[in-house]
Amino acid sequence: MESPILVVGAGPTGLTAACELTRHGVPVRIVEKLPKILPYVRATAVHSRTLEIFQDLGIVEEFLDAGQKILGTNQYVNGERFQHVRFEQVDSPYPFTLSVEQWRTEQLLEGLLERLGVQVERETELVDLSDRLDGVRATLRRADGREELVETPWLVACDGAHSRVRHLNHQRFPGEEDPLQYVLADVAVVAPIVRDEFHTFLTDRGTLFLFPLPGGRDLLMADIAEHHDPSETPALEEIQGLVEERGLARMRVSDPRWLGYFRIHYRVSRHYGHGRTLLAGDAVHVHSPVGGQGMNTGIQDAYNLAWKLALVERGRAPHALLESYEKERRAVAEDVLATTRAATREAAIFRQLPQAERERLYLHAALPELERLRLLRHREELDLDYRRSPICAEHRGRGLAGSPRSSGPHPGAQARDAGPLQLGDRVVTLLELLRGPRHTLLLFAGVPCEAAARTRLRELAAEVARARGDLVDVYLVDTEPVAAPPGATLVHDPKQVLHRRYDARRDCLYLIRPDGYVGFRSEPSSLTALRRHLDRVFTPR
């Protein structure tokens, strides 16, 4: 029997990795040293891109039922609002941030994993490991002291900022600590504010962040001057004092569920892997919670890694495919560190700014529309770009020299949604079409479609279906209700919504990876160029 891949850590990153590996057809074990899910709020923001991932996993409706939609954000200076941004124009089926307590996120992901046939092995701790050429030998210890020696082909470390796996592999975790200390509070807040928006209060005495939670509660975060032992618990009176000092008039807090002190660290591991051990989530990067990027970045690490690791483990892709994991995800982590550090520092130093700098802050609050939308896309993690990845490529025919390039998504960009589309007797959107663990090949007939192009696409579809049909779903996207070629399925695009979104004025093709990014684009469609790309990503046949 095939040995399962071992996932260490059952937080959101580890659970996503285990779910995705299982969906991609490889056996998995997932271990967690804690006896149960911690009942704390911790990470709360689920951004648009992560909701799209949950749609692919089939659990987005469960999240929408459990969470609260956050539709905008506000900034105040000494009690006066100077910036208000709404999220409606975010380019996603989910144009909002969803506020969900981390314990609930873990609960929903663990429920999916159980439906996939995998149980989290709790009160099971990794205590030692030995990385070998053909796998990892790991020692697991149960709560009763019993130890088990495990042989696994791969170990995925999702065990947090204090990663035992990273420590055992002697991997450095360079970075720095924020000089300020912060307080965090899960409380009920009475205040004259709207409940479906974030609120940031900049004052002469410090900063206060307010994040609405489901059920009418709020998560408060504030920088503090005094340093406390992280094991101490703040008093509710301290939280009320901070609210009165920095918030709006008549703000009151009560019913504390969780109060704590913490320090912010900015760190990225030197490497995302060590032999047959791979790191994801907080085990490889930590940063400020401002902006709510951390959990989302970890989930997307797992989503990026799992399909590649599964193909390699199944013998369907070369080991070199895994090199793209770090090359793609390190750039994302470094950007998150930079942006969250800048946002946190901007808030922290506000009290030190001279009046001229504060006035400049006001002047730049009203951003041009294009810049505002760019920042919203960035916040919701919809602008991730892997164009420099070794597994993203493009082919342009010689006959197109001098003509403008397609304005459709370039290789490495996210495959953006479009619809309605007709799939048999069903009306679908592109994201619904992309659901599942396989690559998706979109063959565009163009507008208008020439007979020679349709013939070429039929031959191309038949060849891909024959050679890679177990790995790639093939769709012919046509504005006419033509018969689908052998090995392909027709996507009828009568209103040309998908053709326009992908700028398919002439015949072309897009290969979409299982994680929803464009892996290859060819204009016009070229079987030879596509075959070369598939042989680079998959094991040649």
Which residue, 295, 185, 291, 177, is CA-closest to 235? 185
The CATH number of the domain holding residue 511 is 3.40.30.10
* Residue 161 located in a structural domain: yes
Task: Decide if 68 is inside a domain.
Answer: no
Banded model confidence at residue 145, pLDDT cuts 50, 70, 90? very high
Flag whether 226 is in a domain.
Answer: yes
The three-point CA angle 229-233-237 to 5° equals 120
Look at 203 and 441; give whichever has higher pLDDT. Answer: 441
- Give the 3-state DSSP-derived string for 124-177, with helices as H, strands as E and coil as C: EEEEEEEEECCEEEEEEEECCCCEEEEEECCEEECCCCCCHHHHHCCCCCCEEE
Per-residue pLDDT band at 250 (split at 50, 70, 90): confident
Q: Domain check: are 128 and 16 in the same one?
A: yes
pLDDT at residue 355 is higher than 60: yes
Query: In this structure, what CATH number is given to the domain that contains residue 221?
Result: 3.30.9.10
In a domain, 348, yes or no: yes
Q: Are 472 and 438 in contact (CB under 8 A)?
A: yes
Same domain, 151 and 26: yes
Residue 366: predicted pLDDT:
58
Counting residues of the chain whose pLDDT is more than 90, the rounded percentage is 70
Q: What angle do CA 64, 20, 306 make, to 5 degrees?
A: 130
Residues 148 and 238 in one domain: no
> Among 352, 375, 409, which residue terminates a domain?
352
For residue 81, being part of any structural domain is answered with no
User: Residue 374: pLDDT band by 50, 70, 90 thresholds?
Assistant: confident
207 within some domain:
yes
Three-point CA angle 155, 312, 443, nearest 5°: 135
Q: What are the angstrom distances between the C-alpha of 277 and each of 39, 271, 411, 451?
A: 30, 11, 28, 51
Residue 402's pLDDT band (cuts 50, 70, 90): low
Query: 77 or 103, which is more confident?
Result: 103
pLDDT in the model for residue 361: 62
- 261 and 274 fall within a common domain: no
**Of 238, 265, 292, which residue sits at a domain end?**
265
Q: How far apart are CA 236 and CA 240, in angstroms?
A: 6
Cα dihedral: 447, 448, 450, 455 (round 10): 50
Looking at the fold, whether 277 and 419 belong to one and the same domain comes out as: no
Averaged confidence pLDDT in the chain: 91
Q: What is the rounded distance in angstroms from the CA atom of residue 461 to the CA atom of residue 486? A: 7
Residue 10: domain span: 5-35+102-171+269-352
User: Is pLDDT at 415 greater than 80 in this prediction?
Assistant: yes
Residue with tokens 């429920």: 111
Mean pLDDT of 413-431: 95
Last residue of a domain, one of 321, 352, 383: 352
Eight-state DSSP code of residue 245 = H
Which structure tokens are listed for 420?
Answer: 């309605």
Domain assignment present for residue 426? The answer is: yes
Q: Quick check: 211 pLDDT over 80?
A: yes
Chain centroid, CA 497 distance in Å: 26
Tell me the two tokens of residue 520: 């290859």
Per mean pLDDT, which range of 77-86, 138-147, 427-436 is the poorest? 77-86
DSSP state of 82: E
Mean local confidence (pLDDT), 31-44? 91
Residues 470 and 328 in one domain: no
Please tell me which residue, 390 or 454, carries the higher pLDDT value: 390
Same domain, 261 and 301: no
**What average pLDDT does this structure show over 12-32?**
98
Looking at the fold, whether 160 and 193 belong to one and the same domain comes out as no
H-run or E-run covering 12? helix 12-23
Confidence of residue 445 (pLDDT cuts 50, 70, 90): confident
State whether 443 and 509 are in the same domain: yes
Burial of 83 (0-12, 13-18, 19+ CB in 10 A): middle
pLDDT of 400 reads: 67
167-202 residue pLDDT tens: 999 999 999 888 888 999 999 999 988 989 999 998
The answer to whether residue 284 is domain-embedded is yes
Are 495 and 450 found together in one domain?
yes
Minimal CA–CA distance to 259: which of 220, 205, 292? 220
DSSP bridge pairs for 218: 187, 212
Confidence bin at 1 (pLDDT 50/70/90): low
Burial class, 359, CB count within 10 angstroms (exposed 0-12 / middle 13-18 / buried 19+): exposed
Can you say whether residue 536 is alpha, beta or left, with left for phi > 0 and alpha for psi between -120 and 50 degrees? alpha
Q: Does residue 259 sit in the same domain as residue 275? A: no
| pLDDT tens, residue by residue, 479-504 | 989 888 888 999 999 999 999 999 99
Q: If pLDDT is split at 50, 70 and 90, which confidence band does 433 have? A: very high
Quick: pLDDT tens for 357-371: 766 665 555 566 677
Q: Number of structural domains, the chain?
A: 3
- Regarding whether 335 and 433 lie in a shared domain, the answer is no
The CATH number of the domain where 121 resides is what? 3.50.50.60
What is the pLDDT at residue 112? Answer: 98
